[in-house]
Structure 1
Amino acid sequence: MLPGAARAQTVEPSSDAAPAELSADAPLDPSMPELDLSTPEPDSGKLTPIPPSADKASAADWSGKVGVDYTKPAIPAATFQPDQLTAGAVPDQSTGVAWATVTAPGMQAPLGWDQTSIETRIDPSQERSKLGTTLSRSVPLGDDVALTWQNGISMTHSLPNASGQVHGWASSQALRFNFLPTDTSVSLGADISSSDDKWLRTLSAEQKLLGGPFSVTGSVSETAAGEFSKSLRAGFRRSW
């Protein structure tokens, strides 16, 4: 043995030593705060309620109609002969135009359109089809008058089996005043098409009779030659 008192040596732990592992069964330290894993309640002051379907149009705002406009011309008196009364002597000159219209709500905006109408027409006699849309907005002017602004555009195409190909477009602008107590409406507008180089003015008035089924309409429209065309017609409309 070496002389001298033996000196105790203190072994310092190395910094590279692995940390002590805790066993899953080891008891938790009661001095540690409890960990809250529950979902916090939302702050009601920062939430903005969203009304259900506030900006969605209901199905009741949509409507559709289909029909056929049937026209049968009269026999001219100058060419009328008694033998034409026999069956088959006079060729059938009746024509029909099939049409369909779908009406839907317009854009929900302060100054937007409140109604949209899409219409298609097929005329076999003219070998043409037409597809158009009309945007409108109605504003009441008091209790007895309503103002409607209409903006329409349409496209015309030839049918697939047509002898000639025709393509065109048309646009219209109109202001319509509806006088509710008397069922009278007055419309001021202008039309333009691909065959015209300027806007053509129109003026029309409609009077409904007997609560609506019958109506009388008079109109004055400007032609491309600068003249005015006048018309007066009566109509009957029934929906079921």
Structure 2
Amino acid sequence: MAVTTGQLRQWKQDKRPIITLTAWDYAIAQVLDEAEVDLILVGDSLAMSILGHQTTLPITLDEMIHHASAVYRGVKRALVVCDLPFLSYQESTTQAIHSAGRVLKETGVSAVKLEGGYPAIVETIAQLTAIGIPVMGHIGLTPQSVHRLGYRQQGKTQEDADRIFNEAIALSQAGVFSIVLEHIPSDLAAIITDKLPIPTIGIGAGNRCDGQVLVTADLLGLTKKQPPFAKSYVNLREIITQAVHNYAKEVQEKNFPQ
């Protein structure tokens, strides 16, 4: 049975951790879904891990729709969420509705994710949820704000911690079904998680969130440089390199094909 936003909320009440990973194509999406990942995020992180950009900023809405469509076709069970990329929702609520509507209409995914918890974004999200578009929030380290925030941990001062806490409350009241908490102190993430009626998904935010997310390329050891909070469970770069060397050797020695 397909995972729903309501089920995620129930899992929070049941204290059942929510397993989240990112995907960028049909094949990876199939693998994650068959492994019973609960939530698959088509994150704009694919701009860096898959398309080779230095930040997430260059990726376009059309590119996100292209990848999200491929991911959706590979999934039967997991809830699929797609990031709205930089400058596809910040200009106005009308722009955000148009972009989110295109994503849902053209890809088949169930929800969109927007970064930030400042008042204008909260108002935009409230408008999206009011017309029936499911939205996931994202606060703390928000990569689309890299030129202002960098990639350093957020919420370390009391002032910043209070701001992030208040953003979480405002987003919950605006109707988001879940919030990603990225690279914030674990104590702050735990306070937010305990306060909110909706699930929190942590990345670099400690183990007291309602679920965890990793960039799948990091988990598989495909990226050369990982953030400090990531973990590789296998080194596919090494495995793939060796496989290619073996193939090349057989071709050179005319042992393939036999």
TM-score, with normalisation over the residues of structure 1?
Answer: 0.26
More RCO (CA 8 Å, sep 6+)? 2
Instruction: Answer with 1 or 2: which has the greater Rg.
Output: 1
* Higher helix proportion: 2
* Higher strand proportion: 1
